[in-house]
């Protein structure tokens, strides 16, 4: 298992009603199958995009959390 840092850019033209859902889908589509996001930070934004940093566990076959869990899951 490796801990990696990645930078991604997410366009601001969201296709979803929920910004959290849009961010979740964008992050997950930028990762490989064996990667799991554990940290997400928006470091910069402008009119067209969000610049984001991700902390990612790679090669996480040893540690397999529920596929239903997400760092974007919000519970009051």
- HSE, CB side, 13 Å, CA atoms: give it for residue 75: 4
Are the C-beta atoms of residues 50 and 42 closer than 8 Å to each other? yes
The per-residue pLDDT for 16 is 67
pLDDT in tens, 16-68: 688 888 999 999 999 988 888 999 999 999 999 999 999 999 886 655 555 56
Residue 13 confidence class, pLDDT cut points 50, 70, 90: confident
Q: Mind listing the domains of the chain with CATH numbers?
A: 2-58 (3.30.1660)
More confident position, 36 or 9: 9
The per-residue pLDDT for 75 is 73
Nearest to 27 by CA among 45, 39, 15: 39
The per-residue pLDDT for 33 is 85
Cα-trace Rg, the chain: 13
């Amino acid at each position: 298992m490796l801990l990696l840092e990645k930078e991604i850019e997410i366009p601001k033209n969201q296709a979803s009603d929920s910004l959290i859902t849009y961010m979740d889908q964008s992050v997950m589509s930028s990762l490989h199958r064996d990667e799991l996001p554990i940290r997400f930070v928006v470091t910069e934004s402008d009119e067209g995009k969000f610049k984001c940093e991700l902390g990612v566990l790679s090669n996480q076959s040893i540690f397999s959390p529920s596929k239903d869990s997400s760092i974007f899951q919000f519970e009051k």
